[in-house]
Amino acid sequence: MRLHRIPQVDFSQSYLMVNGEGNREIPVPFGREVRRALWHYIASYRPKPEYPQVTQLFLSEQSLTLRPFNNMKVRCSMVKMSSKLLFGTDVLDWQEGINVSRMREARAERARQIMREHGIAAMLATQGDNCRYLTGLRGPDFLPQLWYVLFLTDDDPVVFPHAGWLHQMPDQAPWIKKWRIARSWLGGICGSEATREEAKLFASDIYQELKESGLTGEKLAIVGFDAPAREALGQLGITLVDGWPIMLEATAVKTEDEINCLKMVAAICEAAWYRVWETLRPGMREIDISHIATRALHNAGAHTVPSNACRSGPLTFERGIDHAGRIIQSGDLLYLNMCGVTYLGYRSCTIRTLIAGRNANDKERGWYKRLLERLNAVIDAIRPGATTADAAKHLPPATAWGYQDEAEVLALEIGHGIGLHGYEMPIINRQWSLEHPQVFEPGMTLAIEGREGEFRIGGVSLENMVVVTKEGAEIIDHMPRDHILEPMVSHRWG
């Protein structure tokens, strides 16, 4: 589209002519970011005019001039990028980065605050993410319930580490004052009788700690324990309540340091995305792409890297089967779920779509355009005081893809909280949000994802990490997102 065909905009002088008061045209100046956005709209999204005489900048989906009459309302969803970090993964004596001591203390205080609001004086939690949030510790997770924490509102937490960790950790974590050996039945492999005996020892240890704190008559919130553990505690007269809703509420709102951890892991993932982008070419296998991403993530400073699922070609829609070992062919769409990569325990959740060997065609760009526009609308609807229902209404119903039940797109068209856990509050989808809305608060962090395509033909996917600020949601992963990532020039044919 040549510039002289759009008389309302002057890129050389950076102004846009708009109708002002009295239907009078007035110039509105704009800066570099707006100029880039307008260029991109013209190059990629502006419909081809229905008639040659149509020269207006913004056109309807029917390729006609937008006119403010007949009560027509036009609203543009504008997403905002979050500020980038001023520091890296190294610890420096001359620059404040992520303050881990402050983060530990702030998390523990928030947990205590939420517990007090619910009338809970003690919480017994297992599973690594829960224990890390409450104490700042990590431990073994090769089996469930290997270690656990008795967390108190008015006293120091009591940590029950597994075997060798009991002897290794106390001098490494001086902020924890009380250490006890954990009791585990290793998922019951010792047999039912031994399990019951070990569970009784476990319950007796917990009861003794509660007794010393004068809490045996109080409710004990419990998170992540199996039936033998619950039965043994109940047999000692301890009143148990579900502690998982308390953990969800506590972890929903993040501190500044937690948000910076998520920004850091997003930057780490960006390094891997670029490495995959510059390397992808026909003839590679999906596993090759996963290995390249894994190495790049470790090199950039990731603390843990899961097996990143790579999907290509006809397996890109619907998103399901992974690790198929396909050989990537010319024209295949491809994406990775770069999710669960951690920095200080905080997890990534990002997806970008690439294409091998050629540029995307009109159909593929159309899929991506629909996807981008609706995710932008969802993100734009996220602001303090609004609800998940306000955001979920921008997601199509499952019937849009020929499905009968919203469960058929569960975790495919969704927004979900992210942090130490891969899925936290709040949740955005049509399955629950419209009838059970949750309110957005500043400090919440979410991943917003969706997909488009045709079954066994191919598809596109996009996922962004966002943080809720006082002004609205901001995207914290800065990898290009407004188009399919087409091959570098040396890897392109046609």
* Alpha helices in 236-361, H assignment, sequence order: 244-251, 256-279, 286-300
Q: What is the pLDDT of residues 137-190, one digit of tens each?
A: 999 999 999 999 999 999 999 999 999 999 999 999 999 999 999 999 999 999
Determine the pLDDT at residue 68: 44
In angstroms, the CA 249 to CA 256 distance is 17
Q: Could you say which DSSP state residue 431 is in? A: T
Distance CA 391, CA 83 (A): 23
- The H-assigned helical ranges of 321-430 are 362-380, 388-392
**Short-list 155, 157, 153, 151, CA closest to 224:** 151
> Side chain identity at 271, as an amino acid letter?
A
Structure tokens at 245: 């809703």
pLDDT tens-place string over residues 28-86: 777 766 777 777 777 777 777 655 555 666 666 555 555 443 343 444 456 899 999 99
Q: What is the pLDDT of residue 412?
A: 96
- Look at residues 304, 290, 289 and name the one whose alpha carbon lies nearest to residue 341: 304
Residue corresponding to tokens 């020039």: 489
Do the two domains 3-74 and 256-491 of this chain adopt the same fold? no
CB 265 within 8 A of CB 301: no
Q: Beta strand pairing status for 178-179 and 219-223?
A: unpaired
DSSP SS3 for 40? helix
Topology at the third CATH level for domain 256-491? Creatine Amidinohydrolase (3.90.230)
The Cα 114–Cα 125 span in angstroms is: 15
Q: Write down the pLDDT at residue 344.
A: 98
Task: Name the CATH topology of 121-242.
Answer: Creatine Amidinohydrolase; Chain A, domain 1 (3.40.350)
What is the widest separation between alpha-carbon atoms in the chain?
86
Cβ neighbourhood burial of 225 (10 Å; 0-12, 13-18, 19+):
buried
Q: HSE-up of 274 (CA within 13 Å, CB side)? A: 11
Local confidence pLDDT in tens for the 494 residues of the chain? 444 456 667 666 666 766 655 555 666 777 766 777 777 777 777 777 655 555 666 666 555 555 443 343 444 456 899 999 999 999 999 999 999 999 999 999 999 999 999 999 999 999 999 999 999 999 999 999 999 999 999 999 999 999 999 999 999 999 999 999 999 999 999 999 999 999 999 999 999 999 999 999 999 999 999 999 999 999 999 999 999 999 999 999 999 999 999 999 999 999 999 999 999 999 999 999 999 999 999 999 999 999 888 999 999 999 888 888 899 999 999 998 899 999 999 999 999 999 999 999 999 999 999 999 999 999 999 999 999 999 999 999 999 999 999 999 999 999 999 999 999 999 999 999 999 999 999 999 999 999 999 999 999 999 999 999 999 999 999 999 999 999 986 555 54
Sign of the C-alpha dihedral, residues 406, 410, 414, 418? positive
- pTM of the predicted protein model: 0.84
Kindly report the number of other CB atoms within 10 A of residue 84's CB atom.
10
What type of residue sits at position 247?
A: M
- Residue 9 confidence (pLDDT): 72
- Give the pLDDT of residue 494: 47
Rg of the chain (C-alpha set): 26
- Dihedral, CA atoms, 370, 376, 379, 380, nearest 10 degrees? -130
Q: Are 97 and 130 contacting, i.e. CB atoms less than 8 angstroms apart?
A: no
User: Residue 113: its pLDDT value, please?
Assistant: 98
Q: Residue ranges per domain, the chain?
A: 3-74, 121-242, 256-491
Taking domain 3-74, whether its CATH number is 1.10.540.10 is answered by no
d(CA 163, CA 286): 39
List the strands of the sheet with 158-160, edge to edge. Answer: 178-179, 158-160, 148-152, 122-126, 219-223, 239-242
